[in-house]
Amino acid sequence: MNNSSLKLYGIFYDQETSKSIPKGMTPLDNINGPSWLFEAHPIHHYLSQSQPKDDEWLGFFSPKFAKKTNLSVSDIKGMFNKKCKNSDACLFSSYFDQAAISLNVWLQGDALHPGLLAISQQLANLSGYEIDLKTRINSLNQTVFSHYLIANGKFWREWHRVVTIYFSMVKSNSKLFQKLTPHPGELIPIHAFVIERIPSLILNSGALMSTFDFALYTKQFPGYSLKNVILKEIDHCKKMFSNTGNTVWLSRYQKQLRRYQNIM
């Protein structure tokens, strides 16, 4: 694949974060965007102005990308050239450990932001996804946080469609619009956390293919080799249980989860 078909954007929220955009990313201005929507607003605004073609790959990254993942633009481009050819999205998730140990991102999110699961299920239903989010099992190739991914036009057009539906939900429901959730040191609207899980919803549909590189994920915890080994095994158990329905894999997942909790 040719890097010329890949466009990377670095989102900035003020003058300070505008200076932190790494070389190789095009600045994407969100100074006047609602701060409580984080990266969702500038991505949606961009896609509303310019709908990408199928073979056009885009990535939108917040200023904390390097800090959260220990990855660089070179890592993104290397992944693009090596592993993205047969996929619609390639993932560089932050907090991949939370994605690995949780059965899915909606249960994980609901524990931190009560009400998120029900809101996300309503959105899934309205968007035409026949997925029970309460029982769905995510493996890492279907899961991403912080919108840290690159994807082709098919993915981003679907993302824009679903996010637009969510904005309509919020505008038509004053109770939902005012829904707040805990965030370090404050209460903020829940919407960014719902939208953050929309890529995982899309990837769980089975219509699009995605991939990740565990070697890149382990850069988040370079000094925790045992931790990484257990996380990889946890993810494998979830994937096998999801694929086979054999409860032996669920038991192995639970065993590895306890092992992980014991080293934390």
- pLDDT of 2 reads 63
79 and 210, same domain (yes or no): yes
User: Under a CB-based contact definition with an 8 Å cutoff, are residues 44 and 163 in contact?
Assistant: yes
114 and 9, same domain (yes or no): yes
For residue 15, pLDDT over 90 is answered with: yes
67 and 178, same domain (yes or no): yes
Q: What share of the chain in percent tops pLDDT 70?
A: 98
- The pLDDT confidence band at residue 1, using thresholds 50, 70 and 90, is low
213 and 229, same domain (yes or no): no
For residue 99, pLDDT over 70 is answered with: yes
- pLDDT of 224 reads 82
- pLDDT of 125 reads 98
Contacts of 149 (CB under 8 A, 6+ apart): 59, 89, 90, 91, 92, 93, 199, 210
> How many folded domains does the chain comprise?
2
154 and 232, same domain (yes or no): no
178 and 263, same domain (yes or no): no
At 90, give phi and psi (nearest 5°).
Answer: -125, 130
Structural tokens at position 115: 């009400």
Beta bridge partners of 205: none
User: Under a CB-based contact definition with an 8 Å cutoff, are residues 237 and 252 in contact?
Assistant: yes
156 and 70, same domain (yes or no): yes
For residue 3, pLDDT over 90 is answered with: no
pTM above threshold 0.85: yes
Beta bridge partners of 211: 90
207 and 225, same domain (yes or no): no
Domain boundary among 187, 202, 219: 219
In three state form, how does the secondary structure of 212-264 look?
A: CCHHHHHHHCCCCHHHHHHHHHHHHHHHHHHHHCCHHHHHHHHHHHHHHHHHC
For residue 141, pLDDT over 90 is answered with: yes
198 and 257, same domain (yes or no): no
For residue 264, pLDDT over 90 is answered with: no
Structural domain including 249 reads 221-264
| Averaged pLDDT of the chain | 96
For residue 115, pLDDT over 70 is answered with: yes
151 and 226, same domain (yes or no): no
215 and 250, same domain (yes or no): no
Structural tokens at position 153: 């036009």
95 and 214, same domain (yes or no): yes
